[in-house]
Chains A and B, each alone.
Chain A
Amino acid sequence: DTAVSQTPKYLVTQMGNDKSIKCEQNLGHDTMYWYKQDSKKFLKIMFSYNNKELIINETVPNRFSPKSPDKAHLNLHINSLELGDSAVYFCASTIGATNEKLFFGSGTQLSVL
């Protein structure tokens, strides 16, 4: 069983559209994250949720809205997609909120045309 699973794996869409990426973890972890990896492999945190509560919100445009219906799920909705949103988005999770070991999903490659 995959520990942290994201869907879809690939997402190709037009500028201006709205899309969602889903993430689920079956590890019983309390904290989940969204990271964005650009074309140069630079990885930057976007959001962190602990037990469904937002605890980290980096300077991300408000077109990005995370939603955590329960502590096993953290979805990312993106409105009015722009070319610069093209990247690989990774979901991750960890026990507690201390970052000792993150488990990552395999990523969602988003291409905005």
Chain B
Amino acid sequence: GNSVTQMEGPVTLSEEAFLTINCTYTATGYPSLFWYVQYPGEGLQLLLKATKADDKGSNKGFEATYRKETTSFHLEKGSVQVSDSAVYFCALSDAGANSKLTFGKGITLSVRP
């Protein structure tokens, strides 16, 4: 079945540091890939997505590139802010109707001033 593996957390960075959060996946076919973010006390929000190989999703300074050869979708940001402190989830959706999102474990990012 489908699965998503995220690097172990938590991650603590200083403001303006470079961020990489690793995500790899296992799926049959050609899934769509997503990063969701959960700010404290809130539900998840879609951060970015990519629907086919070599697509790059980007939003709010975050980027991730769909790499089919390495089955990866790593999240990066060049300069993190305190307001980026949240839990980040990588997810995939298999193709077709009645598909479902499979989430990774989530990783907590804390950014210090």
**Distance (Å) between the CB of B20 and the closest chain A CB?**
19
- In A74-113, the 8 Å CB interface with B consists of 90, 92, 96-102, 104-107
* Interface residue ranges, A against B (CB under 8 Å): 4, 40-45, 48, 50, 55-56, 90, 92, 96-102, 104-107
The number of A-B residue pairs with CB atoms under 8 Å apart is 59
Question: Given A41-B108, A90-B43, do A102 and B49 touch, yes or no (CB 8 Å)?
Answer: no
11 contacts between A and B (CB under 8 A): A40-B105, A41-B105, A42-B105, A42-B106, A43-B44, A43-B89, A45-B102, A55-B98, A97-B98, A99-B101, A102-B101
- In B45-103, the 8 Å CB interface with A consists of 45-46, 49, 87, 89, 93, 96-103
- Bound: A102/B46 CA distance, A: 7
Residues of B within 8 A of A97 (CB): 97-99
Residues of A within 8 A of B36 (CB): 102
How extensive is the interface on chain B, given as a class? 20 to 34
- Bound: A50/B108 CA distance, A: 32
| Residue among A42, A100, A101, A105 with the highest chain B CB neighbour number at 10 A | A100
Residues of A within 8 A of B97 (CB): 96-98
- Bound: A101/B33 CA distance, A: 11
Is B32 close to A, CB under 8 A?
yes
The closest CB in chain B to the CB of A43 belongs to B103
**Distance (Å) between the CB of B92 and the closest chain A CB?**
9
Known: A43-B44, A45-B102, A100-B32. 7 other contacts (CB 8 A): A4-B43, A41-B106, A45-B101, A99-B99, A100-B49, A101-B49, A102-B36
Residues of A within 8 A of B41 (CB): 106
Residues of A within 8 A of B38 (CB): 41
